[in-house]
Amino acid sequence: MIDKQFIGSEAQTTYAQAKTVILPIPYEKTTTYRKGCQNGPAAILEASDQLEAYDEELQREVCLETGIYTYGAIADTRQNSSLTPEMMLRVTTKTASKLIADGKFIIALGGEHSITAGIVRAYQQIMSEPFTVIQIDAHGDMRHSYEGSIHNHACVMRRILDLGLPTLPIGIRSICREEAQLIQEKQIPVIWARDIYDKANWIETAISRISTSKVFITIDLDGIDPSLIPGVGTPEPGGLNWYELTLFLKRVFANYQVIGCDVMELAPVVNSVVSEFTAAKLVYKLLGYQGLSQGWYD
């Protein structure tokens, strides 16, 4: 089921012609505070209609040059509330594997952050070399289990660490004791939110900690300051601002091969469109930076 197409039908191409696939995954099962992220993908797609096609930074109409195709929603708990995390992960990995095999650049829209483990697993199964998972997030998400499940959204980065992949958490400002011990034991190169505000060269520091030529970017929207995106399940003060985030992302795309991205955990706020519009614009920025890095523009 497709709620809408990203940035409208005029920007869409056929699946065969598409370079980029927008993959909505409106799954919500383990959220623990504010509910509603299963409505996040549809809200982003709806808000994308209001985006200007012309990107003033890149000085081009990105959507007309990146070959976008909006895939039908998968693992949709709005339609089937009985879906377990294990079922979601299976269908997510299977679908992402098909898209990767077809040579598509994936931008997945969630949905709760647990989804990311299924996407990353698909890339790992297909790719012959390791890659770094860059995590924009307020929370560590490195618990072994939470509320009786190892596939809780609070455990997603632990599952990715279990896959043996390096990670680079950015903007972290809320962890439990278990996560603090794991970070120390595994020497995980966290860029704390406080460091972003204390150190002018934090982007250089972050870039220097990426140990692979390829990266996957997962963005939990609570990594951004809640004054910009209040519509998340577990807001934390002190997150990244818009230009800190986009400058960092642009540098990553310029210096590494970004194999895919996701934007997770949007939980729309009633009578406000700020969160979903900002999320849609972030997706558009990811599209633009990928096109620039891949030479899709004349």
pLDDT of residue 3 exceeding 70, the answer is no
How far is CA 215 from each of CA 123, 165, 268, rounded to the nearest angstrom? 10, 10, 28
pLDDT at 198: 81
For 53-90, what is each residue's pLDDT tens digit?
A: 999 999 999 988 888 999 999 999 999 999 999 999 99
Number of C-beta neighbours around residue 153 at 10 A: 31
pLDDT of residue 235 exceeding 70, the answer is yes
pLDDT of residue 1 exceeding 60, the answer is no
Determine if the pTM surpasses 0.85: yes
Task: Tell me the pLDDT of the chain averaged across its residues.
Answer: 95
> In this structure, is the dihedral angle defined by the CA atoms of residues 293, 125, 157 and 34, taken in order, positive or negative?
positive
For 81-135, what is each residue's pLDDT tens digit?
A: 999 999 999 999 999 999 999 999 999 999 999 999 999 999 999 998 999 999 9
Instruction: Return the percentage of the chain with pLDDT > 70, whole number.
Output: 99
pLDDT at 297: 85
pLDDT at 64: 84
For 146-205, what is each residue's pLDDT tens digit?
A: 988 999 999 999 999 999 999 999 999 999 999 999 999 999 999 999 999 887 799 999
Confidence band of 138 (pLDDT split at 50, 70, 90)? very high
pLDDT of residue 226 exceeding 60, the answer is yes
pLDDT at 128: 85
Write out the chain in H/E/C secondary structure: CCCCCCCCHHHECCCCCCCEEEEEECCCCCCCCCCCHHHHHHHHHHHHCCCCCEECCCCEEHHHCCCEEECCCCCCCCCCCCCCHHHHHHHHHHHHHHHHHCCCEEEEEECCCCHHHHHHHHHHHHCCCCCEEEEECCECCCCCCECCECCCHHHHHHHHHHCCCCEEEEEECECCHHHHHHHHHHCCCCEEHHHHHHCCCHHHHHHHCCCCCEEEEEEEHHHECCCCCCCECCCCCCCECHHHHHHHHHHHHHHCEEEEEEEECECCCCCCCHHHHHHHHHHHHHHHHHHHHHCCCC
Confidence band of 32 (pLDDT split at 50, 70, 90)? confident
pLDDT at 12: 82
For 269-292, what is each residue's pLDDT tens digit?
A: 999 999 999 999 999 999 999 999
pLDDT of residue 2 exceeding 80, the answer is no
pLDDT of residue 268 exceeding 70, the answer is yes
Domains of the chain: 9-294 (3.40.800.10)
Among 65, 60, 114, residue whose Cα is nearest residue 92: 114
